[in-house]
Amino acid sequence: MKACHEASATQMVTLAMRRLDATIHTSILDVIDRTKYHLLPNTSGASTALEALRYARIAAELGATHLKIEITGDLQTLLPDPIETLRAVELILGTVDTRHLFLMVYTSDDLVIARRLFNAGAGCIMPLASPIGSGRGLSNEANLMLMLEMLKGQVPVIVDAGIGRPSHAARAMELGADGVLLNTAIAKAENPILMAEAMKHAVIAGRYGFLAGAIPAKMYATASSPAR
Decide: residue 209, CB within 10 A, 0-12 exposed, 13-18 middle, 19+ buried: middle
For the beta sheet containing 124-127, the strands, ordered from the edge strand earlier in sequence to the opposite edge, are 12-16, 38-42, 66-69, 102-107, 124-127
Could you give all domains of the chain from N- to C-terminal order, each with its CATH number? Answer: 2-212 (3.20.20.70)
CA dist 182 → 39, 68, 107, 164 (Å)? 14, 13, 15, 8
Q: Is 21 a residue whose pLDDT tops 80?
A: no
Share of the chain above pLDDT 90, in %: 68
Instruction: List pLDDT tens digits, range 114-148.
Output: 999 999 999 999 999 998 888 898 999 999 999 99
| Higher pLDDT among residues 21 and 221, named by residue | 221
Share of the chain above pLDDT 70, in %: 94
Res 84: pLDDT: 96
Q: Is 25 a residue whose pLDDT tops 60?
A: no
Res 62: pLDDT: 82
The mean per-residue pLDDT over the stretch 174-192 comes to 95
| Higher pLDDT among residues 1 and 30, named by residue | 1
What amino acid is encoded at 154 in this protein? Q
Q: pLDDT grade, residue 67 (50/70/90)?
A: very high
Q: CB–CB of 171/137 below 8 Å?
A: yes
Res 26: pLDDT: 60
Per-chain mean pLDDT for the chain: 90
Res 228: pLDDT: 66
Give the separation between CA 180 and CA 10, rounded to whole angstroms: 10
Instruction: List pLDDT tens digits, range 194-219.
Output: 999 999 999 999 999 999 998 888 88
Give the separation between CA 29 and CA 23, rounded to whole angstroms: 13
> Three-state SS string across the chain, please?
CHHHHHHHCCCEEEEEHHHCCCCCCCCHHHHCCCCCCEEEEECCCECCHHHHHHHHHHHHHCCCCEEEECEECCCCCCCECHHHHHHHHHHHHCCCCCCCCEEEEEECCCHHHHHHHHHHCCCEEEECCCCCCCCCCCCCHHHHHHHHHHHCCCCCEEEECCCCCHHHHHHHHHCCCCEEECCHHHHCCCCHHHHHHHHHHHHHHHHHHHHHCCCCCCCCCCCCCCCC
| Higher pLDDT among residues 99 and 120, named by residue | 120
Q: CB–CB of 59/51 below 8 Å?
A: no
Q: Is 22 a residue whose pLDDT tops 70?
A: no
Catalytic residues: 68
Q: Is 24 a residue whose pLDDT tops 60?
A: no
Give the separation between CA 191 and CA 205, rounded to whole angstroms: 21
Q: Is 169 a residue whose pLDDT tops 90?
A: yes
Residue 78: CB atoms within 10 A of its CB come to: 16
CA nearest to 187, candidates 57, 11, 14 = 14
Res 27: pLDDT: 67
- Taking the C-alpha atoms of 203, 36, 39 and 3 in order, what is their torsion angle to the nearest 10 degrees? 70
The mean per-residue pLDDT over the stretch 51-75 comes to 91
